[in-house]
A and B are shown apart, each in its own frame.
Chain A
């Protein structure tokens, strides 16, 4: 179970597995190399040795031959000598002593038996180390005696084998250890740190203490984008907190006023004129609250832009005309006149949201336009852009104020009769135009009035 859960255990398992697999492949490859390339050479070497022994043996007098064979055995060769059917072994004993008939027959005819060269070839047969009497070179010492000989690797280079084995083992073990260590350092630890960081962020702590990213690999990039995401989350959180604080303030102040005037109204001695005045204030404040909640709802809808459809085709001229019609009551209240230049222009976007933009801009313009003045609305298009301007001839907006005009809850006129509104309408319009990849700007002078300009890209 634990192996499945922990990446470091998996790493150890994988590395061990890969090493075992490599060893197997190495063994098979080496063995195959022996079978293909080294066997004939080994055979030739042993054959030369056997011929040497034959030569010496034949030249030695009868009584020294036994001693000679013993001394050859001590130089690292194992062999068997057949004397008229009797067999005598020299050196360390053979594991398999069952010699094939054909081998004996070959040597009996005074030919050389190349047992090493023709030894069986299976992938798992360790030809070089096979301690088998058939894995020998056979030769006739004299018509009565036959010699079957092979080199004894243990006696000849046993220490070398151990030496090589130790080198191999150390290399493999150390390699595996280093691999595991590197994997831990490069993979597991950064991932663990990332996991801890995500848990912190999930718990609302955006100070993750992730060190600066130095490496450019996948994990480095992951860490980097994680840090970016955390920073953005922190900013979103911050602006949301500010927003909530603003909203609370904007809800609190009218509520306080409402409560205050309602308390006053309960006094039995209040003159009717005062009563009327207080009721009027209560009415204004409730209207303001209702408008504010409406716009807050709309803003929250806008913040989830992925749920909105921006692919609707709409006739801007018709929409602008409808927007003015919808405001005919408000326009009439202030005896405002609207001159509109509305050639047919089609754009792609969200119909309801764009309508909201015109509504908000009209609300603002009507609010600041002097009684019985004019509003001007124009619609023009070039190949790439549709431009809408709405001009009112109210008092000019301070350049300082213009900069912040489209911010949420920014209130330009803190001194004048701005009590009945709040700063969301233009922020909403700005956000919607932005969602359409367009721009909303304002220009304001004493002579030319205040002009809001919306530019929407044409696709």
Chain B
């Protein structure tokens, strides 16, 4: 289980984020000011830090710098100041991402997952099939000179198929690996996503997702 540090001087917001992240299956530690946040981050096993900018005793940028010097963990900055110039300062201090208040709690979770993926130790991040170049760490896809930004599920399906070109995947195993065991969708969900994925890759002539009747799908590489 991952542990997330949340630092914000507003108790209501702290409580809200804490509850939501617990519900999403993360362990949490909370801090009400910058000094406390820094102490926690440096002494406790923390996997990710969410820091508010405006905090008593020490601001979020200073805490970011302190953590950056000691640990290699993802840091996400929360800012109430809409002044866009703060973001620059956050990146300079070493933050990985930012979110401006007010924010959608689902967006926060989305960003947390993306950060964990990016920091996950993996050696199969880059996949090349035909003209397609996938980077599973940051969900980027290049096809020749084009940058393609696929919706997450489509990317995950493509990554699954591309890791094993020409291998046939049945719908159930795709559902299991992409949506997870708790998902109660139907085969139809897969078909819709595959159709869209085909449309989005229509310009690529080196690969094709083909339907194997009665079995499932596979990614063909044409030479």
CB-based nearest A residue for B85: A352
Which B residues are within 8 Å of any A CB, using their own CB?
82-85, 87-88, 100-102, 104, 106-107, 110-111, 114, 138-139, 145-154, 196, 200
Decide: A329 near B107, CB < 8 A? Known: A290-B101, A337-B200: yes
Interface positions, chain A 343-378, Cβ under 8 Å from B, are: 343, 351-353, 355-356, 372, 374
Which residues of B are found within 8 Å of A290, using beta-carbon distances? 101-102
CB of B110 within 8 A of CB of A340, answer: no
Task: Identify 11 residue pairs between A and B in the complex whose beta-carbon atoms are under 8 Å apart, listed by A's number.
Answer: A298-B82, A301-B83, A325-B138, A328-B139, A328-B149, A329-B104, A330-B107, A339-B148, A339-B149, A372-B151, A374-B200
What are the residues of chain A within 8 A of B87 when measuring CB–CB? 352
Residue in A closest to B193 when the chains form the complex, CB atoms? A335
Name the distance in Å between A283's Cβ and chain B's nearest Cβ.
10
Q: How many A-B residue pairs have CB under 8 A?
A: 73
A342 CA / B146 CA spacing, docked (Å)? 7
A336 to B148, CA, bound (A): 11
Number of interface residues of A (CB under 8 A): 33
- 7 A-B pairs with least C-beta separation: A294-B82, A338-B149, A340-B147, A329-B110, A290-B102, A335-B151, A329-B107
Bound: A353/B88 CA distance, A: 11
The interface residues of chain A lying within 8 Å CB-to-CB of B84 are 298, 352-353, 355-356
Q: Find out whether the CB atom of A329 lies under 8 angstroms from the CB atom of B111.
A: yes
Min CB distance B81 to A, Å, is 8
B148 and A338: CB pair below 8 A? yes
Interface assignment of A181: CB less than 8 Å from any CB of chain B: no
| Nearest CB of chain B from residue A298's CB, rounded to whole Å | 6
Interface presence of A331 (CB below 8 A): yes
| A337 adjacent to B148 (CB under 8 Å) | yes
- Chain A neighbourhood of B114, CB < 8 A: 328
Decide: A337 and B151 in contact? CB cutoff 8 A. yes
Residues on A with beta carbons closer than 8 Å to the beta carbon of B82: 293-295, 297-298
- Measured between beta carbons, the chain A residues less than 8 angstroms from B146 are 339-341
B100 (CB) vs chain A CBs: closest residue: A294
- Asked if A337 contacts B102 (CB within 8 A), the reply is no
Are A332 and B110 interface neighbours, CB within 8 A?
yes
Alpha-carbon distance between A343 and B138 when the two chains are bound, in angstroms: 20
CB distance from A334 to the nearest CB of B (A): 8
Distance in angstroms between the alpha carbons of A356 and B85 in the assembled complex:
11
> When chains A and B are docked, how far (Å) is the Cα of A287 from the Cα of B114?
24
Distance of A336 Cα from B153 Cα, bound (Å): 11
A356 to B100, CA, bound (A): 13
* Interface assignment of A324: CB less than 8 Å from any CB of chain B: yes
Tell whether, in the assembled complex, residue B196 and residue A372 are in contact, meaning their CB atoms are under 8 Å apart.
Answer: yes
Q: A287-B102, A332-B110 are in contact. Are A337 and B83 (CB under 8 A)?
A: no
Decide: A321 and B154 in contact? CB cutoff 8 A: no
Q: Which residue of the partner chain A has the closest CB to B149?
A: A338
CB distance from A127 to the nearest CB of B (A): 84
Min CB–CB distance A58 → chain B (angstroms): 114
- Bound: A355/B84 CA distance, A: 9
Question: Could you tell me if B200 and A341 are in contact, using CB atoms closer than 8 angstroms?
Answer: no
Among candidates B83, B101, B111, B147, residue contacting A342 with C-beta atoms closer than 8 Å: B147
Q: Is A286 an interface residue (CB 8 A)?
A: yes
Other A-B contacts than A325-B149, A329-B107, A337-B149, 4 sampled, CB-CB below 8 A, are: A335-B196, A337-B151, A340-B147, A372-B196
Report A-chain residues with C-beta under 8 Å of the C-beta of B111: 329
Q: Nearest-CB distance from B3 to chain A (Å)?
A: 23
Report the nearest B residue to A308, measured CB to CB: B85
Known: A290-B101, A337-B200. A332 touches B151 (CB 8 A): yes
- Distance in Å: Cβ of B69 to nearest Cβ of chain A: 25
